[in-house]
Structure 1
């Protein structure tokens, strides 16, 4: 559960800190499955590419989250989140949604699904 708690802060810090990026990556299993608005990817290398794409497209970004809660009768956890940011183009944005996660037997994040309220949020990452 500690890895989930650290996730959002490390994600935001990773934009400007290589150490934070390495700590962020260490939260995940090597065979992480992540889903972005219904599009599934797998593996830690694909996860790193996604994070770097977010930082390339955004000059600044800050997440807030409500706190991870167990999903009843499953091995999943869920949290609502909000993010504000400034795109590389200079425009600002806000977004809300939820994340659904599963931890492996070592406590690493093995599954992470990002469900944005705006379904166009990750259109640039479909391929």
Structure 2
């Protein structure tokens, strides 16, 4: 598992800002939301619905960074930027990469959760 997909400094800051006991719940909620957003994005890519891609990429970028998924956040922000600058054919080239990065990022975060937070 590529734990580099999860920024440990951000996880530690979240523990300081909240409580180690709430971290599993926060991660579970994030994973559920990310899977939902990924389904929306997958359909939007298929439909070439760039407004949905832009909105969901923006949201995914923000929520991913909040839980230390920097790689996913960066890719989502890149896709959002491409939508904003109307590089629409280029946006479509990131469809499968996004799905793979989401999958690996979720796996890495689940692995981090299994390690515990105390």
* TM-score of the superposed pair, with normalisation by structure 2: 0.31
Rg larger in structure: 2
Q: Which has the higher contact order (CA 8 A, sep 6+)?
A: 2
More strand by share: 1
